[in-house]
Amino acid sequence: MRTRRGLSYPRGAAVNACDTAAGKRTGTTSYKRGKPDFAAGDYLVCRKKNRLISTQKTGETDLFDSLPDDLVISILCKLSSSASCPSDFINVLLTCKRLNGLGLHSLVLSKASPKTFAVKAKNWSDSAHRFLKLFADAGNVEACYTLGMIRFYCLQNRGSGASLMAKAAISSYAPALYSLAVIQFNGSGGSKSDKDLRAGVALCARAAFLGHIDALRELGHCLQDGYGVRQNVTEGRRFLVQANARELAAVLSKPKPGLLTRTWFSWNPHAHPNHRHPTGNGPSGCPLLSDFGCNVPAPESHPASRFMTEWFAIRGGSSGSGLRLCSHTGCGRSETRKHEFRRCSVCGAVNYCSRACQALDWKLRHKEGCAPVERWVDEDGEGGADGDDGGVDGDVDDVMIES
């Protein structure tokens, strides 16, 4: 059946429409204006648009409820591992009761990415603490490390923080191994006699084996200086070369827009008056990439380091009376006792928790502001050690000495 516009009605609908019209004329149907009496399963044709509207009631069963839990958990694992912010994950939990229950499954929480539980220091609260602890209890190594660093340095809960970092280190998480090495080197959370240099070197070696660049650089300096291990200048320098090569490879694999690669390799030996050249046992020649002033972009800080930096910045840049922060802006670690960190032996104006932070800070800013002084005075008015002309590996900033 065709209309004047050339449109065709479906045959079944046309028959029903004719029957309805006939019933209206004869009065055999209870037709009401605007409410045609169609049986279930029939179709109504809209006159203004060529569209069939089903009047059949939808099924009472929900197809989502028929999906197995394993499939839903697998989908939620993919979502939690690719979430860009906590709200992406929380919105899923608020969708329905079933997603709320399956979203809190330990497998989903353990696969979550750091962005899923990223918390800013300015928004820290008990609920944020519980939210982060939820992921740590599920075995998420990133959450264990992040919460461990926050508890150890920010909340000053040394035992709980160290145990969480150890939990992540047992799972071969390299940043946790390196952080525990820094704690052993400095005796953090205890007294000066609690330092365990050999344990720190062993943890650094394990983290370096797993590919942690700062741990490899720290291990190289330890070998060169004989710090916690038998001195081996040649082997230490080889580790420094490897650390800088890995750093350069990491930057080249993820180039940032707006940066010219050719400018990274520019090096001027006379760019800074404090720049010294290798002497003694070290070979001469072009310096070693970032440790020696090439313009390789700084690596991105870990979310835990960014949290601690923001935490202490809100509190005036200090964790307590007389306690200093590591001068490397991407670190965020704080002293746990007075004079825990070592300071630059030339200017005495900066202090570092590790040689790796010293090397990075030298590249970023300190090489331009370090000026030798005959004698520097600490905050308490006590004289410090005389400046030293030596350098870590001949050029990476100045030797750090005990405060």
The domain containing residue 72 runs over which residues? 68-116
Domain ends where: 345, 364, 383? 364
360 inside domain: yes
Instruction: Report pLDDT for 139.
Output: 93
76 inside domain: yes
- Mark residue 394 as left, alpha or beta (left: phi above 0; alpha: psi -120 to 50; beta: remaining): left
18 inside domain: no
167 inside domain: no
Which pLDDT band, with edges at 50, 70 and 90, does 355 fall under? confident
Distance (Å, rounded) from C-alpha 63 to C-alpha 70?
A: 15
Which pLDDT band, with edges at 50, 70 and 90, does 330 fall under? confident
The pLDDT of residue 236 is above 80: yes
In tens, the pLDDT along 258-306 reads 555 555 555 444 444 444 433 444 333 334 445 544 556 667 789 999 9
181 contacts: CB under 8 Å, gap ≥ 6: 199, 200, 201, 203, 204, 207, 215, 218
- Which stretch, 63-72, 141-150, 245-254, has highest mean pLDDT? 141-150
Instruction: Mark 8-42 as b/e (b = at least 16 C-beta within 10 Å).
Output: ebeeebeebbeeeeeeeeeeeeeeeeeebeeeeee
Query: Exposed/middle/buried for 365, CB within 10 Å: 0-12, 13-18, 19+?
Result: middle
Instruction: Report pLDDT for 11.
Output: 54
The pLDDT of residue 52 is above 60: no
Between the alpha carbon of residue 236 and those of residues 11, 200, 226, 233, 240, the distances in Å are 88, 16, 9, 5, 6
Our count of domains for the chain comes to 2
In tens, the pLDDT along 74-128 reads 999 999 999 999 999 999 999 889 999 999 999 999 999 999 999 999 999 999 9
107 inside domain: yes
Instruction: Report pLDDT for 201.
Output: 94
List, as one string, the DSSP characters of 267-336.
Answer: --TTSSTT-----TTSPPSS--GGGGT--PPPPPPPHHHHHHHHHHHHTTS-SSTT--B-SSTTT--B-S
353 inside domain: yes
Instruction: Report pLDDT for 288.
Output: 44
Contact assessment for residue 99 and residue 93, using Cβ atoms and an 8 Å cutoff: yes
Q: HSE on the CB side for 71, CA within 13 Å? A: 5
Distance (Å, rounded) from C-alpha 371 to C-alpha 373?
A: 7
The pLDDT of residue 166 is above 90: yes
Domain ends where: 87, 116, 145? 116
Contact assessment for residue 330 and residue 301, using Cβ atoms and an 8 Å cutoff: yes
List, as one string, the DSSP characters of 44-101.
Answer: EE-SSS--EEE-SPPPSS-GGGGS-HHHHHHHHHHHHHH-SSHHHHHHHHTT-HHHHH
Domain ends where: 116, 132, 151? 116
**Strands 375-377, 383-386: pairing kind:** antiparallel
Mean pLDDT of the chain: 76
The pLDDT of residue 195 is above 60: yes
* Rounded-to-10 torsion of CA 229, 234, 238, 244: 90
Distance (Å, rounded) from C-alpha 231 to C-alpha 185?
A: 17
Distance (Å, rounded) from C-alpha 403 to C-alpha 395?
A: 21
Distance (Å, rounded) from C-alpha 371 to C-alpha 127?
A: 47
Of the candidates 289, 296, 292, the one whose C-alpha atom is nearest the C-alpha of residue 277 is 292
Please compute the mean of the pLDDT values over residues 38-63 and round it to a whole number. Answer: 51
Question: What pTM value is reported for the model?
Answer: 0.72
169 inside domain: no
The pLDDT of residue 387 is above 50: no
The pLDDT of residue 161 is above 90: yes
Higher pLDDT, 263 or 208: 208
Please compute the mean of the pLDDT values over residues 181-210 and round it to a whole number. Answer: 93
In this structure, the number of other CB atoms found within 10 A of the CB of residue 289 comes to 23
Name the residue type at position 144: C
Distance (Å, rounded) from C-alpha 138 to C-alpha 110?
A: 5
Instruction: Report pLDDT for 275.
Output: 42
